[in-house]
Amino acid sequence: MATITDPIRQRTGPSPEALAQHYARIRALSEALAAPLSDADATAQSMPDASPAKWHLAHVSWFFETFVLRDHLPGYRLFDDRWPYLFNSYYEAEGPRHARPQRGLLTRPSLDEVLAYRAAVDAAMLDAMPMLAERCGELIELGLNHEQQHQELLLTDLKHLFACNPLGPAVWPAAPTLRSCADEPTPVRWREGPSGLVEIGDRGEGFAFDNERPVHKVHLPPFALADRLVTNGDWLRFIAEGGYATAGLWLSDGWAWVQREGVASPLHWRRADRGGWEQFSLSGWQPLDIAAPVAHISFYEADAFASWAGARLPTEQEWEAVARVQDPAGGVQLDAAGPVAPQVEALGEESPPLFGNVWQWTGSAYRPYPRFRAAPGAVGEYNGKFMSGQFVLKGGSCATPRGHVRASYRNFFYPQQRWQFTGLRLAKDL
Amino acid sequence: MATITDPIRQRTGPSPEALAQHYARIRALSEALAAPLSDADATAQSMPDASPAKWHLAHVSWFFETFVLRDHLPGYRLFDDRWPYLFNSYYEAEGPRHARPQRGLLTRPSLDEVLAYRAAVDAAMLDAMPMLAERCGELIELGLNHEQQHQELLLTDLKHLFACNPLGPAVWPAAPTLRSCADEPTPVRWREGPSGLVEIGDRGEGFAFDNERPVHKVHLPPFALADRLVTNGDWLRFIAEGGYATAGLWLSDGWAWVQREGVASPLHWRRADRGGWEQFSLSGWQPLDIAAPVAHISFYEADAFASWAGARLPTEQEWEAVARVQDPAGGVQLDAAGPVAPQVEALGEESPPLFGNVWQWTGSAYRPYPRFRAAPGAVGEYNGKFMSGQFVLKGGSCATPRGHVRASYRNFFYPQQRWQFTGLRLAKDL
Amino acid sequence: MATITDPIRQRTGPSPEALAQHYARIRALSEALAAPLSDADATAQSMPDASPAKWHLAHVSWFFETFVLRDHLPGYRLFDDRWPYLFNSYYEAEGPRHARPQRGLLTRPSLDEVLAYRAAVDAAMLDAMPMLAERCGELIELGLNHEQQHQELLLTDLKHLFACNPLGPAVWPAAPTLRSCADEPTPVRWREGPSGLVEIGDRGEGFAFDNERPVHKVHLPPFALADRLVTNGDWLRFIAEGGYATAGLWLSDGWAWVQREGVASPLHWRRADRGGWEQFSLSGWQPLDIAAPVAHISFYEADAFASWAGARLPTEQEWEAVARVQDPAGGVQLDAAGPVAPQVEALGEESPPLFGNVWQWTGSAYRPYPRFRAAPGAVGEYNGKFMSGQFVLKGGSCATPRGHVRASYRNFFYPQQRWQFTGLRLAKDL
Amino acid sequence: MATITDPIRQRTGPSPEALAQHYARIRALSEALAAPLSDADATAQSMPDASPAKWHLAHVSWFFETFVLRDHLPGYRLFDDRWPYLFNSYYEAEGPRHARPQRGLLTRPSLDEVLAYRAAVDAAMLDAMPMLAERCGELIELGLNHEQQHQELLLTDLKHLFACNPLGPAVWPAAPTLRSCADEPTPVRWREGPSGLVEIGDRGEGFAFDNERPVHKVHLPPFALADRLVTNGDWLRFIAEGGYATAGLWLSDGWAWVQREGVASPLHWRRADRGGWEQFSLSGWQPLDIAAPVAHISFYEADAFASWAGARLPTEQEWEAVARVQDPAGGVQLDAAGPVAPQVEALGEESPPLFGNVWQWTGSAYRPYPRFRAAPGAVGEYNGKFMSGQFVLKGGSCATPRGHVRASYRNFFYPQQRWQFTGLRLAKDL
Ligand SMILES: [Fe+3]
Ligand SMILES: [Fe+3]
Ligand SMILES: [Fe+3]
Ligand SMILES: [Fe+3]
């Protein structure tokens, strides 16, 4: 047991009943997200980075079945012996597995069979919850947080898939939105953050991933964060002023990426037939809302924009130091299945929350915290082995299940990836 | 009109009623082939060479809708304006189209919508058949032959897709087969073919593609064809004697292909857990039938095998000269939806038919016949533009709709392609 | 011995003295071609298809050392045991070898060392010539023809290398040329060729490669060849009329190549700063001579041009049937080291010779002649294993050593290759 | 002027005479390093990451010619107008340039011409030194440090080139070395480093690159560094215990790299014919010295080794905090042209110096220091634009010119690169 609970600190967990309710609610959201999908919609994979919706639904169940039921429920029999090979994502310790870029070829098992798998795992889990909650409550919590991460991926993967379809289908009808009528981007107001020695990392007051630990001190020079996210309107100016064609604004790798891929706008943008721009959403193609936060930009684009704006990206520590005092459940986050999209920030006297809307690229490479140790065993592969080549993002997005994210939360992606709801908030030295 | 009928010679066609019956029977077979498929099965694409079943079903209908209904039925309105972009295969003259390797991302339209499209096209076609049969009977015949080609592709593409699934699903349950009990491959008997000046190409007695024309003379030196196809048993000996590891047997391009891809057996073969080999079929994984004709080999493999056997591939003209006197509707060909597979040949006194079972690689590069001219317009792209880099195959296979193939029929694939039912028959000089 | 002499028919060879003179003259030309080169010039390799000049010089010597001296001169000791690994080109039977794309990394041995190698091989060859001429005269003849082939490659590889250098260096100063002043391309005159049954292939009256044999009959329908080569001026019209942008003119593979590589002119062309075109030559960049034959075109380009011109490529048999009565040593061919380039054809009453100037793409895939058999052993790899995927070219070029080519000679390249002096002559059906 | 001197802080520089002497000495070393090379040796490029020796010699001269002579010497005329295109490395602000992977095709200008270029630049520089030393002394210092970096690259690029040659040539004869006779690797002794708040970065007491500035505080938890480098003997144990085959030791990107490239040992290692290992050196292939520091490992290998050893990589700050009190000119570094190689460390009571022998991978991603600002203009591209995707290395190597490196020096390479003399020193938490 020690080997498993290691990565998820010892705390007093919720009661079995509370855990069961929590479990049921999170599991239900996954199915609600997949409800509008046909068997084919749930099966296709639009690129190696993405996974089919059906695969997400099965994989998160495999996680519970493997690390909870198989490992901790005596006498449990696998739903299907052949499925772990299909639904293991990347756990080397769990043996060989189906090649990631071929997930879209798994037309069998069908969506219905996967839903039956989910029902069977849920039945076993809930049935055994009194015992399980005690023996491996934190592992269950890990599994639920894992499922929430896949809920976000399910949405962004689906958006990517539908964007590849010339018919541009909608998953859900568009929500009525207040279209903004601002002519000019609102000027940025700079908010000074805490400097000097600050504490960073999870303090152990609730669930956290191993990569957020241990808490440790860092020394921050004086800095300020922008009180608002960069918007589509800001981005249009960057484009208009030749941002994508000015080598001097870009990191060397970023410039090579722009040239190689012919990048000239955020992902999911296209020029509209009668001028202007459109962006693809979970409700199909829509006119670009210039007051909304920009999304679907890569780290390279975020960094180039910051250079163009005479600013820089915040470090993950700066962001966390400021965010620590905020409610992480605030802002635009995922509450229920529907056409989530970044929303215009309300810019009044008070600054809008740092959380939600779009993941914010930081200038921090994703590396382990001092004294970080990955857990032994398969669960130790959860975060630690990805600590090279990626950058940290903070804050959650409109597609992050509310309650999932916190100030110490470290999301990470490669600098060219941009199919998540990724945006940016500027920072500067004081 | 002239521009369209050019490629398909002027003959007296069938009556409108006969044509309508013919049309209905062929169209029904496509749907029967797709009947066991889920929406997801019909949507996935396992490699750029293959297409989704749903795409085949729609594309062949687009062919009728475009070249018959749109072009020849005054007042016809397209089923959906956006679909030609999706279902045009490669006709440059018909404008831009969805990228081939992305066909598997078209989860919409659904299989049901595609079946509705088929029904609508059929209704319009049958409704207008009296007029259409007269105005463009040969174009309809072309469309029906086109659909038959896609029926074969649908089967081989589906086989490839299911072979990529670790669960190895079956499309249909296995047919009861007489498992052969031969210990030793039957020795080849050589049958001399006609030599000297022979006539090659379509004589205009029925439907033929433009690439089979015009009829012309070639001079053949004395030769003989094997009276039987190369079998799986023969192939096991080739493997056992190091065929895949002996550079001297291979064409230079073939040897590079073997090395690059790590090829060591025909496609769809795998070693069984308890020794021996299995082959993937439309009924899932089955023990290798050593007496059955070998299938799923590339031109390179066919050529290397022939070298190893001290023989050679027949030329397309040799094969045709021999086949001309046979009934092209004989042998193992597709009669109805089901788990088609190559069958053991009956080797009695008389030689088995040259037709059916597996397409036979010839040593002939696919190039135009003397005086060949592609038709103007989109239909002219049907065959002519593919006349480089490919090799001719003859005879049809177990997946070729019976009635589709003939002695002058020229199938063609790239030398490394082998997901069709491709095999070989040896030839030698006399 | 039989195994070696098999591919090169038994004839009465030249006297030892004549052979020695022939040997010395051909060997000397190789060195004359390399004389203007620095050690670095002779070492660099501009693409995997090309080889360094130094490598050519050594490889042709390795051929003599291996197949003549080592195999037939008792007691011969290799110049350097480690060099066969470096200078074997593609003979699998001779064991592993240095990877082709890495030939340009062989800065050692130096050019001087390679020249010393040549001198040592020459000394051994000439010393033993009386014995060798008798025992393996035809093998020596093969070696000399082999060296002539590499002389042409040395020139075209060098041209390609220097074209990659932004300084555009010249190997030799430009020869004074009569710049043509024609405004309009001269109209093509069509010359009917022999039809019906004709004999094709080498008749055994002198040296020939195995791929030219055996002589055999083919049946030719009535046809005509253009009396002149396609010129740069013709090509400018093809470009001006959108040839490179008209999908319908191209073979499918060719169109994909044009799109993928962004091809918009022959190789070694560039637009001049003050309008017009320049072409790279062995004397550096020069104004395009519009009356000279076009060179450095691929098979795909040749085929597209022919379609645009309403004509077609000749088959190799048509070309040979016409060329058979001509002197193969006529026309523009290589006589001595210098800045060879295609020359304007003299178009008087009589047609200019079919030979020389540029290799002429035919519409014939490079496949074995009926009853062709490659020799056993390494020498059998000379031609036979390349018989897939390539097309036949006829006639020799300005870089072909005079005396090397003949009517039955079959050169072959892949359809996209164009760094040789490749051009075309149109043909049509009568 | 401000724009140029920005990146290299204002200090009182050396006298014009001292600067001229310094200039002459450094320039002479480059030529001494290239002295054993033929024109071909100096021209070839073995991979896109490497450059030809001749190119290095010219490029560093272009740097002086461009940023000093052209920009600061009124009336200076370029040696050759066409050469900046050839010898600009990556300065976008200086316009387009020859493609990096094609540097090996520049057989012209010759090595002699490049040496003449060097002489001309030197003459102009030394002639104008009194004026230049005043106006742009720090720019000259930058140019000299730049040249020293290329001296190291020249050596490692040359080593890579010669390692690609099956003849395995030596640049210099092997130096007599004390072959160590240790049976067992010496156990590591751990030396505690300074913890708490420490100052990091260049303090402005001499030349430093912009990426070492500004000085700033970081907070370090207690840690220790190994008193010695990891040796070849240590590495043999890692191999023997399956290090390259154990997924769990590797970062995810590293494991993918090992699998994709088939990595099973450091670069420049091979198994000897009669057992044991050999390593390639500037004196050709030599028996592996098991007591010498391991070199030519990637970041991924370093990280996996540290995991296997139960330790970790030091951060760049930890390393610098310890190294700050040492003499950076100590240890095994480059003093003169010759067969440099890592040397066995003398492990007595006192720890050997942290500097020299091999560059030590740190666990720190190469990112800007707080308040870092790249200079405007081309010189600002020197370091800043490379700050993504790479890792920091510290300490210099046997190929680093003595006097070049210092504690705050930040070298950087991509995690898979290993053709430099890259090794590692372990660290651990206390
Ligand atoms: Fe997961
Ligand atoms: Fe089709
Ligand atoms: Fe050769
Ligand atoms: Fe440089």
- The continuous run of DSSP H or E covering A360 comes out as strand A359-365
Q: Are the C-beta atoms of D297 and D358 separated by less than 8 Å?
A: no
Q: Which helix (H) or strand (E) holds A153?
A: helix A129-163
A238-248 pLDDT, tens digit each: 999 999 999 99
Q: Do C108 and D167 touch (CB under 8 A)?
A: yes
For A316, B325, B326, C167, the CA distances from B430, given in Å and listed in that order, are 80, 21, 22, 60
Task: Say if the Cβ atoms of C367 and B363 lie within 8 Å.
Answer: yes
Taking the centre of ligand 3 as the mean of its atom positions, its distance from the CA of residue C157, in whole angstroms, is: 14
Would you say residue A179 lies in a domain?
no
Residue B183 forms part of a structural domain? no
- Report residues near ion ligand 1: CB below 5 Å: A 89
Q: Would you call B359 helix, strand, or coil by DSSP?
A: strand
Which residues does chain C have within 8 Å of residue D102's beta carbon, measured at their own beta carbons? Answer: 164
Round to whole Å and give the CA distance between D335 and B163: 63
User: Do residue D152 and residue D200 come from a single domain?
Assistant: no
Indicate yes or no: CB of D370 within 8 angstroms of CB of A429.
Answer: yes
Ligand nearest to the Cα of C150, by number: 3
- In 3D, which of B314, B354, B323 has the Cα closest to residue B221? B314
Residues of B in contact with C93 (CB under 8 A): 247-248
Written as tens digits, the pLDDT of chain C (430 aa) is 223 333 444 456 788 999 999 999 999 999 999 999 999 999 999 999 999 999 999 999 999 999 999 999 999 999 999 999 999 999 989 999 999 999 999 999 999 999 999 999 999 999 999 999 888 999 999 999 999 999 999 999 999 999 999 999 999 999 876 555 556 778 999 999 999 999 999 999 899 999 999 999 999 999 999 999 999 999 999 999 999 999 999 999 999 999 999 999 999 999 999 899 999 999 999 999 999 999 999 999 999 999 999 999 999 999 999 999 999 999 999 999 999 999 999 888 888 999 999 999 999 999 999 999 887 778 888 888 999 999 999 999 999 999 999 999 999 999 999 999 999 999 999 9
Q: Is residue B198 located within the same domain as residue B91?
A: no
Residue A275 within a domain: yes
DSSP annotation string for B216-275: EEEEE-SEEEESS--BHHHHHHHHHTTGGG-GGGS-HHHHHHHHHHT--S-TTEEE-TTS
Q: Which of D219, D367, D386 sits opposite A197 (nearest CB)?
A: D219
Strands laid side by side in the C427-429 sheet = C190-192, C223-226, C427-429
End-of-domain residue from the set C164, C198, C213: C164
C43 and D40 in contact by Cβ < 8 A?
yes
Please give the residue of chain B at the shortest CA–CA distance from C429: B371
Residues of B in contact with A167 (CB under 8 A): 82, 86, 108-109
User: What is the tens place of the pLDDT at every residue in D130-142?
Assistant: 999 888 999 999 9
Residue given tokens 């095994």 in the structure block? D332
A20-69 tens-digit pLDDT = 999 999 999 999 999 999 999 999 999 999 999 999 999 999 999 999 99
Whole-number Å distance between alpha carbons of A215 and A219: 14
Q: How many structural domains does chain C have? A: 2
Separation between Cα atoms, residue B382 and residue B360, nearest integer Å: 22
Distance CA C163, CA B360 (A): 46
User: Which of A376, A388, A413, A321 lies closest to A91, judged by CA?
Assistant: A376
Residues C196 and C117 in one domain: no
User: A253 and A141 in contact (C-beta within 8 Å)?
Assistant: no
Subunits next to C (3 or more Cβ pairs <8 Å) are B, D
Q: Residue D286: in which H helix or E strand, if any?
A: strand D284-287
Query: CA–CA separation, D430 vs D427, rounded Å?
Result: 10
Residues A139, A232 within the same domain: no
- Å from CA of B152 to ligand 2 middle: 11
Do residues A213 and A69 share a domain? no
* Matching residue, tokens 């599994």: A143
D197 and D319 together in one domain: yes
Distance, in Å, from the CA atom of D23 to the CA atom of D319, rounded to the nearest integer, reads 31
Residues C215 and C355 in one domain: yes
Distance from CA of B258 to the nearest CA of C (A): 14
| All chains having 3 or more CB pairs closer than 8 angstroms to chain D | A, C
Task: Kindly give the confidence (pLDDT) of every residue in chain B, 430 residues in length, as a single tens digit, with 9 standing for 90 and above.
Answer: 223 333 444 456 788 999 999 999 999 999 999 999 999 999 999 999 999 999 999 999 999 999 999 999 999 999 999 999 999 999 989 999 999 999 999 999 999 999 999 999 999 999 999 999 888 999 999 999 999 999 999 999 999 999 999 999 999 999 876 555 556 778 999 999 999 999 999 999 899 999 999 999 999 999 999 999 999 999 999 999 999 999 999 999 999 999 999 999 999 999 999 899 999 999 999 999 999 999 999 999 999 999 999 999 999 999 999 999 999 999 999 999 999 999 999 988 888 999 999 999 999 999 999 999 887 778 888 888 999 999 999 999 999 999 999 999 999 999 999 999 999 999 999 9
How far from the centroid of its chain's Cα atoms is residue A389's Cα?
A: 17
Distance CA D7, CA D379 (A): 8
Domain that holds residue A22: 16-164
Mean pLDDT score, D382-406: 96
- Residue A348 has φ and ψ, to the nearest 5°, of -95, -150
Cα(D50)–Cα(D48) distance, rounded to whole angstroms?
5
3-state helix, strand, coil in chain B (%, to 5): 40, 10, 50
Tokens matching residue C199: 């004999």
Q: Are A43 and B40 a contacting pair at CB < 8 A? A: yes
Average pLDDT over residues A378-396: 92
Nearest CB to A104; choose among B104, B109, B169: B104
Whether residue A2 is contained in a domain is answered as: no
| Residue D429 half-sphere exposure toward CB, CA atoms < 13 A | 9
Element (H, E) at D87: helix D83-87
The stretches of A65-128 forming alpha helices (DSSP H) are 71-72, 83-87, 111-127
Q: How far apart are CA B306 and CA B424, in angstroms?
A: 9
Residues in chain B whose Cβ is within 8 Å of chain A:
38-44, 46, 82, 85-86, 98, 102, 104-111, 161, 164-167, 169
Chains A and C are touching, with contact defined as 3 or more CB–CB pairs separated by less than 8 Å:
no
D396-406 b/e (C-beta count within 10 Å ≥ 16 → b): bbbbbbbbbbb
Both B254 and B318 in one domain: the answer is yes
B262 exposure class (CB count in 10 Å sphere: 0-12, 13-18, 19+): exposed
Query: Which residues in D lie closer than 8 A to residue C164 (C-beta atoms)?
Result: 102, 105
Residue with tokens 């690259």: D153
Residue A327 lies in a domain: yes
Alpha helices by DSSP H, C111-205: 111-127, 129-163
pLDDT tens digits for range A264-313: 999 999 999 989 999 999 999 999 999 999 999 999 999 999 999 999 99
**Interface-testing mutation among B252, B381, B416, with chain C (most C C-beta atoms within 10 A):** B252
Interface of C with D (CB under 8 A): 38-44, 46, 82, 85-86, 98, 102, 104-111, 161, 164-167, 169
- Pair A252, A315 in one domain: yes
C70: closest CA of chain D, how far (Å): 22
* Residue D80, token pair as written in the block: 């050759």
Q: Which of the residues D388, D390, D429 would you substitute to probe the A interface, choosing the one with the greatest number of A C-beta atoms within 10 Å?
A: D388
Return the bridge partners of C359, or none. C422
Residue B149's closest CA among B408, B400, B361, B406?
B400
Mutation to test the B interface, candidates A55, A81, A107, most B Cβ within 10 Å: A107
H or E element, residue A393: strand A391-394
User: pLDDT at position B379, please?
Assistant: 82
Interface test with D, best of C107, C115, C162, C419 (most D CBs within 10 A): C107
Dump pLDDT digits (tens) for A61-105: 999 999 999 999 999 999 999 999 999 999 989 999 999 999 999
Q: Do residues A151 and A315 lie in contact, with contact meaning Cβ atoms separated by under 8 Å? A: no
Q: What is the domain-level CATH number for residue B424?
A: 3.90.1580.10
H/E segment holding residue B319: helix B316-323
Ligand (nearest to CA of B381): 2
Closest of C122, C125, C123 to residue C135, by C-alpha: C125
Instruction: Give me the half-sphere count of Cα atoms (radius 13 Å) on the Cβ side of residue A361.
Output: 31
Chain B positions in Cβ-Cβ contact with residue A38 (cut-off 8 Å): 39, 107-108, 110
Q: Report how far residue C288's alpha carbon sits from residue C276's, in angstroms, rounded to the nearest whole number.
A: 8
Three-state DSSP class for residue C391: strand
Is D68 domain-assigned?
yes
Single-letter amino acid, residue C377: G
Q: How would you classify residue D18: left for phi > 0, otherwise alpha for psi between -120 and 50, otherwise beta? A: alpha
Q: Which of A388, A392, A428 to mutate to test the interface with D (most CBs of D within 10 A)?
A: A388
Q: Is A299 within 8 Å of D389 when comparing Cβ atoms?
A: no
d(CA A198, CA B415): 66
Looking at beta carbons, which residues of chain D come within 8 Å of A370?
Answer: 221, 429
Comparing CB atoms, the residue among A216, A221, A255 nearest residue D370 is A221
Structure tokens at B223: 């030769």
C-alpha distances out from residue C260 to C17, C27, C256, C304, C308, Å: 54, 41, 6, 16, 21
Of A164, A198, A223, which residue is a domain's last?
A: A164
> Is D421's pLDDT higher than 90?
yes
Query: Please, what sign has the CA dihedral across residues C273, C279, C285, C289?
Result: negative
Same domain flag for D113 and D66: yes
Q: In terms of domains, do D194 and D102 share one? A: no
| Position D41 pLDDT exceeds 90 | yes
Q: How far apart are CA A401 and CA B167, in angstroms?
A: 33
Q: Do D111 and C44 touch (CB under 8 A)?
A: no
**What does the block give as tokens for B275?**
């020794």
Residue type, D114: V
CB C134 within 8 A of CB C128: no
Please tell me the distance in Å from B118's CA to the nearest CA on chain A.
19
C-alpha distance from residue C95 to each of A35, C83, C381 (Å)? 62, 12, 13
Residue D159 located in a structural domain? yes
Measured in angstroms, the CA of C53 and the nearest CA of chain D are apart by 12
Q: Which residue in C155, C215, C207 sits closest to C359, CA to CA?
A: C155
Residue D303 falls inside a structural domain: yes
Same structural domain for residues C234 and C151? no
CA distance D117 to chain A (A): 29
- pTM of the predicted model over 0.90: yes
Which residues are CB-neighbours of B174 under 8 A, at least 6 positions away? B281, B283, B284, B286, B339
Token reading at B234 = 């023969």
Is residue C330 within 8 A of residue C356, CB to CB? The reply is yes
**Rounded CA gap, D62 and C381, in Å?**
49
- Which pLDDT does position A10 carry in this prediction? 47
